[in-house]
Amino acid sequence: TQLLKQSPQFLSIQEGENLTVYCNSSSVFSSLQWYRQEPGEGPVLLVTVVTGGEVKKLKRLTFQFGDARKDSSLHITAAQTGDTGLYLCAGVYTNAGKSTFGDGTTLTVKP
Amino acid sequence: DADVTQTPRNRITKTGKRIMLECSQTKGHDRMYWYRQDPGLGLRLIYYSFDVKDINKGEISDGYSVSRQAQAKFSLSLESAIPNQTALYFCATSGGAEETQYFGPGTRLLVL
């Protein structure tokens, strides 16, 4: 059973379009992280959100943490081909010292 | 040089064989993790360690064992490999206030 459910699982769009990826759970997390993974490599952290309702922006990427700290979204504005990759959310249990990962969203941005 | 290294990068083995995957880190972190990745299932935690004397089972530890030889080294063993252990395996360390995880490049394992 996946504690963190991401949607959609696959997304294929044209360059310049906007998109949103969702990460939902019934669990409350200390914080939530988003990672991006390219083929042949390990995931790399994009952002950590800590406070319920928090919004963080990283250039064209906007991350939001739900008020109840159970869910999150990633919005990409004007997608570029370089955004192609697997996006993973991870709920962090700080006291337990571990994280649980979502099932991933594979994004393909076509030129 | 990479902060987290894994060897081997690719491995083909036969059912019933014992194999070991190795991980080394230069980040100075106490916490280390082993995950497996399967298509559509994200990353699932196999084992994790908070220091040399503290090792914990993750959500899918059956069929696996680990050894924390030093702060910088954490190895994963498959005692008797089976085909459904075919997967991509990642080692990671974590540290800092936000518990950022730093991943190695992965080991692609095929069990025939």
Cα–Cα distance list, B101 to A18, A77, B25 (Å) = 28, 26, 12
Question: What CA–CA distance (Å, rounded) separates A77 from A17?
Answer: 7
Percent with pLDDT over 70 in chain A: 98
Looking at chain A, list the stretches that DSSP marks H as alpha helix, in order from N- to C-terminal side: none
List the single residue in A with minimal CA-CA distance to B30: A97
10-residue stretch averages of pLDDT, chain B, 112 residues long: 90 97 95 92 92 94 96 96 97 88 96 96
A-chain CB neighbours of B99 within 8 Å are 31, 92, 94, 97, 99
Give the model's pLDDT for residue A2. 55
Tokens of A44: 């790399």
Task: Mutate one of B3, B99, B100 to test the A interface: name it (highest A CB count within 10 A).
Answer: B99
Chain B neighbors of A2, CB-CB under 8 A: 41-42
| Cβ–Cβ below 8 Å for B50 and A103 | no
Has residue A1 got a pLDDT over 70? Answer: no
Are A43 and B43 a contacting pair at CB < 8 A? yes
CA distance A82 to B100: 23
Please give the pLDDT value at position B99: 84
Which residue has better confidence, A1 or B11? B11
Average pLDDT for chain A: 93
